[in-house]
Amino acid sequence: MPEINFTIDAQTGEMEMKVEGVQGPQCADVAKIVTELTGTPQQEENTKEYYARPNVRPQIQNKQL
């Protein structure tokens, strides 16, 4: 199950987030939802999962002749 881990430093109010369990650039969609509300992050880094290929099962449809 995908999850986003947020931390907020109570001293500064600064927030960090890490998206886990989402392979490939789909996590960028999640990041976009957040940055729409926060503005451009000061720092951004892609994790290994970002560069991993999502498991895609080929879907085969039987053709009816």
Partner 1 sequence: MSKYMTFPEAAFKDRDLLIAALEEIGCSYIRQGADLEMGRYYSEQLEQKVPIVIPRGVIGNDYGDIGFELTESGEYRPVMDELDRSRALNGRFIPKLRAAYNERVIAKVAARLRGTIDRSVEGGVVKIKVRY
Give the x-and-dash track for 2-21 against partner 1 (CB under 8 A): xxxxxxxxxxxxxx------
Nearest to 47 by CA among 16, 29, 23, 31: 23
> Which residue carries 């895609």 as its tokens?
56
58 binds partner 1 (CB under 8 A): no
Q: Write down the least CB distance from residue 43 to partner 1, Å.
A: 14
Q: Write down the least CB distance from residue 9 to partner 1, Å.
A: 6
Q: Write down the least CB distance from residue 14 to partner 1, Å.
A: 7
| 18 versus 52: smaller Cβ distance to partner 1 | 18
Tokens of 8: 């907020």
Nearest to 47 by CA among 64, 65, 31, 63: 31
